[in-house]
Copies of this chain bind each other. A is one copy, B any other.
Amino acid sequence: MKAGGVELGEAKNSAPRRGVNRGISILDFILRLLAFIGTLGSAIAMATTNETLPFFTRFIRFRAEYDDLPTFTFFVIANAIVSGYLILSLPLSIFNIIRSSAQKSRIILVIFDTAILALLTAGASAAAAIVYLAHKGNARVNWFAICQQFNSFCERTSASLIGSFAGIAVFILIMVLSAVALYRR
């Protein structure tokens, strides 16, 4: 009788716990989808940015493209890699929803998530540093604010940072959720 009571108590305890873990897994899946949309949007927005000014001399057309600045190329590549990774991680995330007590798949996700978070942050903040420079320039080292000429180019590159930084925030949330799920199993 006593042993039966203990077993019942354990079952009572583990059922809601498993429910919470499934809830976390579903939230994880939704967040991954959101981060995918954000980073893919960023990559596309940046990669399609170019502006040709309406005046030109005989030899020069004033034209700015995103790949004039190597940092923006890195930004596009980083965001493309991250969104590709997010799509590949979705099946594992679905597996976590179905088998909410699975631990190995969570560990694998946490490890890759960490590396991918670092890559995304690197791309986004390097691009942000260049965008800042493009807007403000720097008088001390004679770098001019190119945004005075290339207005729409600058607006477009600035806007494409949003999806990337939103992706970073979502990624941090995903990692916190994974840690909580590992703790609560």
Which residues of A line the B interface, CB within 8 A?
64, 68-71, 103-104, 106-107, 110-111, 114-115, 117-118, 121-130, 132-134, 138, 140-144, 146, 168, 172, 175-176, 179-180, 182-183
Rounded to whole Å, the gap between the CB of A65 and the closest CB of chain B is: 9
- What are the residues of chain B within 8 A of A107 when measuring CB–CB? 179-180, 183
A114 to B107, CA, bound (A): 15
SS class, residues of chain A in contact with chain B = helix
Q: Is A114 within 8 A of B175, CB to CB?
A: yes
Q: Which chain B residue lies CB-closest to A111?
A: B176
Rounded to whole Å, the gap between the CB of A83 and the closest CB of chain B is: 18
Q: Which chain B residue lies CB-closest to A150?
A: B141
